[in-house]
Amino acid sequence: MAKLYEYQGKEILKKHEIPIPKGAVISTADEAVAAAEKIGWPVVVKIQTWSTGRKAAGGVRFAATADELRKHCGDLLGMKIGNFAVEKLLIEQKLAIAREFFAGFIINDTAQKPMFLFSSRGGSGIEEIAKEYPDAVVTAEVDIFEGMKPYRTLELIKKTGLDPKTASALAPILVKMYEAMRKSDARSFECNPLVMTADEKVYAADCHVVVDDYAVFRHPEFGIEIAREFDRPPTELERIAYMVEKNDYRGTFFFFQMAEAADTKEAVIGFHGAGGGGSMMSMNAVSENGCKIANFCDTSGNPPASKVYRAAKVILSQPGIKGYFSSGSGVASQEQFHSARGFVKAFLEEGLDVPASIRLGGNSEEIAMQIIADFLGGLPVQVKGFGKNDSPDSVMKHLLEGMKKNGNKGHTVKPFVLPDTKKCDYSFQTMTGSIHVERAACAACTTKACIGSCSPKILKEENGAPALAIDPKEAKKGKCIECLACELACMAKGMKALKIVLPIEGLASYREKLTKGK
Amino acid sequence: MAIIITKQNRVIIQGITGREGQARAQLMMEYGTQVIAGVTPGRAGEEVHGLMVYDTVSELVAAKGPVDTSVIFVPAHLVKDAAIEALENGVKLIVIVPDRVPVHDVLEISAHAKKHNANFVGPNTLGVLSVDEGILGMIGGKASSAKSWFKRGNVGVTSRSGGITSSISYYLSQAGIGLSTICHVGGDAVIGMPHNKVVELFQNDPQTDLIVMFGEIGTSQEETVAEMMKAGKITKPVVAYIGGKGAKKGTRFSHAGAIVEGNKGSWEGKVTALREAGAHVVENFQEIPAKVKEVLAQKK
């Protein structure tokens, strides 16, 4: 789930006219001092991080002078919180706080409604406070059609024993906070503390917002790079994979790396699942057989072959993996030959040097397994496709045999090279790539198998070579489904006249760094 | 009799002209589902597998008569409007197949559904299949596969994973155990018919004698089922598997979540709650068919 920093949450609050302390976000000591001069001394300094318990970690400090502030900046910038280094600090005016409250809205999956939470006692340790003083806490489901009505909000928070003056000062702010939660597509939106100052003004002193991953597209203003929860900064390879995912809406592609696999002597597996539930069970089969997983990857929801191909190329950008294990639910609704073709193109281009066991159970699994056997049977390492009656455990055991036969050698990452199209004199664009034909080479071909293999039937014969039978714009829009069948059909006839180019942004330079040795 | 989908449902497909809409229209019809027609704005007058396409649901209803069920295949950001359109035109059950529907949109769909006394399955669902009755969504992919993979009988399946819905059902059929209805409740946190609602329907379905539930970590659906069993609302035997035993806990960010949900959502919490309620929880997925046979034999 995509999290916002405190300062981003406060920008939303400001937009909804909820008072926040004067402040500025900075990333150097000089900026901090300049900001404090503007705000007025003393100031509070707060690390910007995606976790709770910041105060206990020493991430909230006060400064009355420039020297003090510089010292805090020195301590806090670059400080490690979990796996993240602190890059930004929020400098704010120090409020004369008289009272602290907790206020939040969260989506309740059982009620299928936003839920309002308020506590007349707030501040750090709110979870313990809520347990200790249940009477201070009030919760209520919010009706989507009604929203938070001011009078109802007042009624609710008065149940916590607030005096009329305080309650009526807070209620309008909570109404606005609900609007902010809805407008920012937040799964949770919290202010802890919401404070009242000595001069009886209300401010949101802190703000935690978790944005719905599926709605991030509506909010370019949040600048969320990867709409997903990470407990560490994403790796470069994860960023590359995310771009593939983002630029192709067909099916799912999800990739992340496991840190714990990096420094292990245990056999490390490149994992390629299909579907969440089946992937989880398949990963169990890996660990139960004494292996570690280098990465998690999921291509599902009927992805095109091109997406499975790119996923395989990303997985094979991890040096040292000793085997490639692909396994999903086992009984897939999608046509499994698409995935099979994706694997074939990737494995052949890479000159696969570690064994692969591919569990392809589901629709047309016989064809899928045959494709794997026909094209990859000749590789020097063991590669085999499996069907729905093969369990993840038995397929994993087969992979272990292959790894043994391969002397438990690890995978060497090769430079990323796109197919050579210099001799090709005909081409057209697809949704995420392009198809190229060396027409002179087609003259010798009697079958024109590429045309026959095309499942959307968009190729025709023109002067003895394949050509688009439809408007090229239509092909690019998605009429060409990037099933890769034409390229494989050409290859099956011993030809290499038709080539499909599917770029992966950033992968060439990533691999170059790897192969040159960091 | 099965649940959710039978031969009696009058079904429409919203987004019928798209890649998935076209393919699944064929699947549903060939399996025997009563598909009336389809909707895609701007494409009225076209035909998909012999089904007429209309611009709006109200035009479809005017031409073809009332309908009660809709399967939605439109892009995620258009789902909310399509669902509300269906509800306002008399549809009582919606199956929302697309993935990545914004959760605040789902909250609105849910509120509208309640107002119209209607239900929805999903979002992010493979759909629902009642053996020899009909399919809503894309379970099986092809009618020939769906017919050969899933055999009719007395076990109901409800699952949080699409792929697992098919695979459990296939392995049960292979073991000689027949199925009434199999339902993928959807992969998201907020869904129209979580396990507890589906289990309740199975409880009231004369064809179903036993319920198989594939749960996962997160949300409180499985805990709710356990509570219903304890309260005596579910008396049919439940065989359950909970995925995600080895998953790491994420970094905590929300206090409100912790205050509201407490320990709900964890693997241990779900397994314990279900066992205490008398469910048969297996820890190895492959054990499910044997466990179902054993429990059915005890019942006789």
The predicted pLDDT at position A503 comes to 97
> What is the phi/psi pair of residue A170, to 5°?
-80, -40
The answer to whether the CB of A170 falls within 8 A of the CB of A194 is yes
Q: How far does CA A280 lie from the centroid of its chain?
A: 17
Distant-in-sequence, close-in-space partners of B18: CB < 8 Å, separation ≥ 6 = B40, B73, B74
Contact A217 B260 (CB under 8 A): no
The whole-angstrom separation of Cα B125 and Cα B158 is 12
First CA to last CA distance, chain B: 21
Query: Check: CATH 3.30.70 for A426-501?
Result: yes
Which amino acid, B225?
Answer: V
Pairing label, strands A498-501, A434-437? antiparallel
The predicted pLDDT at position A57 comes to 84
The whole-angstrom separation of Cα A70 and Cα A74 is 6
The answer to whether residue A51 scores a pLDDT higher than 80 is: no
Digit-coded pLDDT (tens) for B29-67: 999 999 999 999 999 999 999 999 999 999 999 999 999
The whole-angstrom separation of Cα A224 and Cα B162 is 29
Pairing label, strands B238-243, B210-216? parallel
**Over chain A, what is the mean pLDDT?**
93
Paired tokens of A344? 């074939």
- Nearest CA to B23 among B134, B120, B143? B143
Element (H, E) at B7: none
Task: Look up the ipTM and state it.
Answer: 0.90
The whole-angstrom distance between A25's CA and the closest CA on chain B is: 20
Taking residue A414's Cβ as centre, other Cβ atoms within 10 Å add up to 15
Distant-in-sequence, close-in-space partners of A151: CB < 8 Å, separation ≥ 6 = none
Contact B164 A275 (CB under 8 A): yes
Whole-angstrom Cα Rg for chain A: 29
The whole-angstrom separation of Cα A461 and Cα A439 is 11
Lowest-pLDDT range of A149-158, A247-256, B217-226: A247-256
Picking from B101, B149, B251, the nearest residue to A331 by CB comes out as B149
Q: Where are the domains of chain B?
A: 11-299
Q: A193: cis peptide before it, omega within 30°?
A: yes
The whole-angstrom distance between A102's CA and the closest CA on chain B is: 9
Give the CA dihedral A160, A164, A166, A171, nearest 10 degrees: 80
> What is the phi/psi pair of residue A482, to 5°?
55, 45
Q: Which residues of chain B neighbour A281 with C-beta distances below 8 Å?
A: 164, 243, 285
The answer to whether the CB of A270 falls within 8 A of the CB of A311 is no
Which amino acid, A374?
Answer: D
The predicted pLDDT at position A114 comes to 97
Query: Check: CATH 3.40.50.261 for A236-405?
Result: yes
Contact B76 A214 (CB under 8 A): yes
Three-class secondary structure of residue B130 per DSSP: strand
Contact A332 B216 (CB under 8 A): no
Digit-coded pLDDT (tens) for B213-262: 999 888 889 999 999 999 999 999 999 999 877 665 554 555 666 666 66
Contact A277 B77 (CB under 8 A): no
Digit-coded pLDDT (tens) for A265-302: 778 999 999 988 888 889 889 989 999 999 999 998 88
The whole-angstrom distance between A67's CA and the closest CA on chain B is: 32
Q: Which residues of chain A neighbour B31 with C-beta distances below 8 Å?
A: none
The predicted pLDDT at position A475 comes to 96
The predicted pLDDT at position B111 comes to 98
Q: Which residues of chain B neighbour A210 with C-beta distances below 8 Å?
A: 253-254
Picking from A106, A185, A328, the nearest residue to B257 by CB comes out as A106
- Name the more confident of A232 and A179: A179
Distant-in-sequence, close-in-space partners of A317: CB < 8 Å, separation ≥ 6 = A237, A413, A416, A507, A510, A511, A514
Buried b (16+ CB within 10 A) or exposed e, A374-389: ebbeeeebbbbbbbbe
Pairing label, strands A89-93, A23-26? antiparallel
The whole-angstrom distance between A461's CA and the closest CA on chain B is: 26
Select the residue from B104, B138, B213 to test the A interface by mutation, using most A Cβ atoms within 10 A.
B104
**Over chain B, what is the mean pLDDT?**
93
Band (pLDDT 50/70/90 cuts) for residue A329 is confident
Contact A126 B259 (CB under 8 A): yes
The answer to whether residue A495 scores a pLDDT higher than 90 is: no
Lowest-pLDDT range of A48-62, B150-164, B221-235, B273-287: A48-62
Digit-coded pLDDT (tens) for A74-122: 999 999 887 788 999 999 999 999 999 999 999 998 899 999 999 999 8
The predicted pLDDT at position A55 comes to 81
> What does A449-518 look like in DSSP terms, one character per residue?
HHHHH-TT--EEEETTEEEESS-HHHIIIIIS----HHHHHHHHTT---EEEE---TTHHHHHHHHHTT-
Which parts of A9-130 are beta strand (E)?
23-26, 43-47, 60-63, 80-81, 84-85, 89-93, 97-108, 113-119
Query: What is the CATH number assigned to the segment(s) A1-13+96-228?
Result: 3.30.470.20
Q: Which residues of chain B neighbour A213 with C-beta distances below 8 Å?
A: 100
Q: Which residues of chain B neighbour A218 with C-beta distances below 8 Å?
A: 102
Considering only alpha carbons, which residue of chain B is nearest residue A283? B246
Residues of B annotated as part of the active site:
255
Q: How far does CA B86 lie from the centroid of its chain?
A: 18
Which amino acid, A435?
Answer: I
Contact B256 A106 (CB under 8 A): yes
The whole-angstrom separation of Cα A185 and Cα A213 is 9
Please state, in angstroms and as integers, the Cα–Cα distance from residue A302 to each residue in A190, A362, A430, B178, following that order: 38, 12, 18, 27
Q: State the alpha helices, DSSP H only, in A247-384.
A: 276-288, 305-315, 336-350, 365-376
Buried b (16+ CB within 10 A) or exposed e, B229-249: beeeebebbbbbbbbbeeeee
Contact A143 B111 (CB under 8 A): yes
Picking from A130, A389, A478, the nearest residue to B259 by CB comes out as A130
> What is the phi/psi pair of residue B182, to 5°?
-120, 135
The predicted pLDDT at position A258 comes to 84
How many CA atoms are closer than 13 Å to the CA of A448, on its beta-carbon side? 13
Element (H, E) at A10: helix A6-15
Please state, in angstroms and as integers, the Cα–Cα distance from residue A122 to each residue in A103, A117, A137, A206, B256, following that order: 8, 11, 10, 11, 12
How much is the pTM?
A: 0.92
The whole-angstrom distance between B64's CA and the closest CA on chain A is: 31
Picking from A144, A208, A249, the nearest residue to B107 by CB comes out as A144
The predicted pLDDT at position A124 comes to 72
> What is the phi/psi pair of residue A262, to 5°?
-65, -45
The whole-angstrom separation of Cα A318 and Cα A327 is 19
Q: Does A208 touch chain B (CB under 8 A)?
A: yes
The answer to whether the CB of A35 falls within 8 A of the CB of A70 is no
- Of chain A residues 27-86, which have a CB less than 8 A from chain B? 50-52, 82
The whole-angstrom distance between B262's CA and the closest CA on chain A is: 10
A482: left (phi over 0), alpha (psi -120 to 50) or beta: left
The whole-angstrom distance between A66's CA and the closest CA on chain B is: 32
Q: How far does CA A237 lie from the centroid of its chain?
A: 12
- Nearest CA to A194 among A263, A281, A116? A116
Contact B103 A104 (CB under 8 A): no
Please state, in angstroms and as integers, the Cα–Cα distance from residue B78 to each residue in A382, A434, B88, B126, B206, following that order: 46, 30, 16, 18, 37
Homologous superfamily of B11-299: Succinyl-CoA synthetase domains (3.40.50.261)
- Of chain A residues 390-409, which have a CB less than 8 A from chain B? 391, 393
> What does B89-120 look like in DSSP terms, one character per residue?
TT--EEEE--S---HHHHHHHHHHHHHTT-EE
Q: Which residues pair with A142 in a beta bridge?
A: none
Picking from A82, A284, A334, the nearest residue to B141 by CB comes out as A334
- As a whole number, mean pLDDT of residues A43-63 equals 88
Q: Which residues of chain A neighbour B228 with C-beta distances below 8 Å?
A: none
The predicted pLDDT at position A160 comes to 95
Paired tokens of A480? 């060409």
Digit-coded pLDDT (tens) for A382-408: 999 999 999 999 999 999 999 999 999
Digit-coded pLDDT (tens) for A348-368: 999 999 999 999 999 999 999
Interface A-B: count of C-beta contacts within 8 A = 188
Contact B100 A284 (CB under 8 A): no
Q: Helix crossing, A392-405 with A276-288: angle to 10°?
A: 50
Q: Which residues of chain A neighbour B187 with C-beta distances below 8 Å?
A: 276
Lowest-pLDDT range of A48-57, A363-372, B121-130: A48-57
Q: Helix crossing, A485-492 with A365-376: angle to 10°?
A: 50
The whole-angstrom separation of Cα A505 and Cα A220 is 21
The predicted pLDDT at position A517 comes to 66
Q: Which residues of chain B neighbour A143 with C-beta distances below 8 Å?
A: 111
Q: Where are the domains of chain A?
A: 1-13+96-228, 22-94, 236-405, 426-501
- Nearest CA to A254 among A279, A225, A231? A279
The answer to whether the CB of B104 falls within 8 A of the CB of B190 is no
The whole-angstrom separation of Cα A278 and Cα B248 is 17
Considering only alpha carbons, which residue of chain B is nearest residue A394? B286
Query: What is the CATH number assigned to the segment(s) A22-94?
Result: 3.30.1490.20
